[in-house]
Every structure is written in C-alpha cells, then in structure tokens.
Amino acid sequence: MTRFIHDQFAKQYLTELLTPYGQVETSKDITAEVRQIDVLFIPSPQPTQSLDILGILGRMVTNYAIFEPFRNAVTKSEIRSCMGKLFDIHADIERQSNRNNNRINEAELPRLWIFSPTASAELLASFNTTVDEENWVKGIYFLGEGLKTIIIAIHQLPNTPETLFLRILGKGKVQRQAVEELEALANHSPFLADIIQLVNNLIAVLSARQRQEHDIDKDDQELIMKLSEIYQQQLEELKKQGLQEGRQEGRQEGRQEGRQEGRQEGRQEGRQEGRQEGRQEGRQEGIERERRAMIESIMEVRFGQVDSQLQTIINPIIAMGREEFTPLLLQLSREELLARFTQYNSFEP
C-alpha cells in the first residue's frame, strides 16, 4: 500500500524539520502494549534555529508534542486509537511524577496533533471540535482542552507561507502546490534544500512502486509528474552551475589533485615496474653470480688461485654462454686465457 510509503516520508520529513529544535523519535514504542506513535517531539531548551521559519508547525513544537500524520482521511477509530496512545504517554509521565514526588503541570503535558488530508464536517462534529482562528488559522480543530488533541484538516488550511510545511503532508492538488512553493524557497535556503531532497526521495519510492505494483492512485500519479518536473529543473540548474563552477574548480583542484594523484600513481606504478624490473634484474644478477662462482671455482682448481690478472678476464667470460666458456676454461692455459680475453677487453669502449 502506498499509504505506508507516505507514512515513512512523513516521519522522515518531520524528523528533518524538527531536529534543530529538539529531540525527535519516530515509531516510539509505548508500554501499555505493542503500539507505536509516529513522531514524538521533545523541545530543546536552546534550539539551533528560530521556530519562526516553520510557521504554524513551529508553534506546535513549543512544547512536548506527538504527531500522527495520515495519508488518507482519518477515521473516528484511528482518532480514538491515537488518543489512546496519547493517554498512555500521559500515564507514564504521571507515574514518573508520582515516584519523584513532583506535581504535574497540565500545560507541559504533550499534545496530540493529527494531520489528515481531509476531514468531513460530520467527523469533526462527532468529536465536538472547536476552532480558534483568532490565534491559529482555518483548518485547525481543537477537542476539549483536557483531551490535548487537535485535528488538522490540511485541505482547509489557507495557502500562506506559514502553513507551507503542513500542506506538504496533504494530498492531491494541495500537496503538489505546496511542493512547488517549497521548491521555490529551497533555492535560497540550504535547510529547505534538505527537505526537498526528502521530497525527491518520495518520488523515487512512488515511481518504483508504480512500476512494480501498478497500484498508484491518481493523486500519486500527478504528484510523481510534478516532482519529476521539479527534479528535472533542478538537474538542469545543477548542470548549468556545474559547467561554470566545474571549469573554475576543476582547474584548481585538478592541478592539486593531479600532483597528488601523480605522486601516488607514480609510486604505485614505480613499485609495479620496479618489481618487474627487479625480478628481471634479479634473475640476471643471479645468473651472473652463478657463472662467476663457477668460473672462479674452475680457475682455482686449475691455477691454484684467482689473482688480479685472472680477475680482469672474468667479466668477459661471464658474457659468454656457459656452453661456450666451460670448454675454454678447461682446455686453454692461463696464458691463452689471458691473451684471448685481455684482447677481448681491449675492444671494450
């Protein structure tokens, strides 16, 4: 089901947005039974960024908060289930407070924010919701104060910058328009660029799902088209920037990396060539040592010792093949060897 794809996206999206402002946990286990809340937020006493950038979402996270985003319109049963998880969290806090002999401050108890792409008038009326458009905006519905639960009907939110991050979690045209607005803002904000990357990841997952299962609904098909268009525009921009920046940076980095890589490759190639040449030279030197030892041994047997005169003719003899110099060493006299190979030495440059 594509609902689970959007659920995962919503968790990553809210985590990316809220991390600078406090502790974020997703799929948080609760102790009553094996149930999970989608996103749990605990505000930091010293956030690294201003909450103003998040608009209405920023006002939601000034206190301990639980977020439950839904891809499809939330049902009464799902709302009750979310509220049950909220009350389990409240019960845990109360138990800890009792153990520590602390008094609970109602204002500090977490609130539950339920994000639904749409919400019918009948559903909202069944929970006796109220609005507070003086302090909030249209589309935000409060249950009784003691219930600490708010339903956001995303399709009713006004198309303003302060609702942008909530409308991203909507569906159909609402979500596509929000994606366009976010993409325009992301060009001037590295923070928003990270959010756009999450949206681009969503298109990749949805597209893969479409190819494999062929069960993408019309809203998701249109979202894929919109995200694909934005993604292609980003690629074109990156190409243009890359061509210009690449030429400049490439020249500078190329020179530096070229020197470094050249040294490294040179060492590596040198080692390889050195090993190969070393083996060859080693073999040659080994042959020469073997021949020298053999020649000196024959001379010692025949002439008693290898004096300085005989030493002078060893190198010319080594240059010959073993089959050639062995008979000569065994047959020629000392004088004949000296005469022959001294004469040979005289022709050396």
Q: Where do the domains of the chain lie?
A: 2-171
- What pLDDT was estimated at residue 32? 45
pLDDT of residue 216: 55
DSSP string computed for 68-98: EE-SSPPPHHHHHHHHHHHHHHHHHHHHHHH
72-85 average pLDDT score: 94
The per-residue pLDDT for range 120-179, each reduced to its tens digit, is 999 999 999 999 999 999 999 999 999 999 999 999 999 999 999 899 888 888 988 888
| Contacting residues for 149 by C-beta, under 8 A, at least 6 apart | 79, 82, 83, 86, 111, 112, 114, 142, 143
Q: What was the pLDDT predicted at 344?
A: 57
326 or 230, higher pLDDT: 326
What's the mean pLDDT in 175-199?
A: 74
Greater pLDDT, 15 or 62? 62
pLDDT tens string 17-42: 888 888 888 766 554 454 678 888 88
The answer to pTM > 0.75 is: no
Cα–Cα distance measured from residue 272 to residue 259, given in angstroms and rounded to the nearest whole number: 20
Q: Of 154-158, 209-213, 326-330, give the lowest mean pLDDT range.
A: 209-213
The pLDDT value given to residue 349: 46
Six token digits for residue 11: 């968790």
Q: Which of 13-22, 257-266, 289-298 has the lowest average pLDDT? A: 257-266
Most confident of 4-18, 116-130, 236-250: 116-130
At 4 the pLDDT is 59
What pLDDT shows up at residue 323? 64
Mean pLDDT of 106-118: 92
For the chain, give the percent of residues with pLDDT over 70. 62
Long-range contacts of 141-148 (CB under 8 A, 24+ apart): 147/83, 148/86, 148/90, 148/109, 148/110, 148/111, 148/112
Summary mean pLDDT of the chain: 77
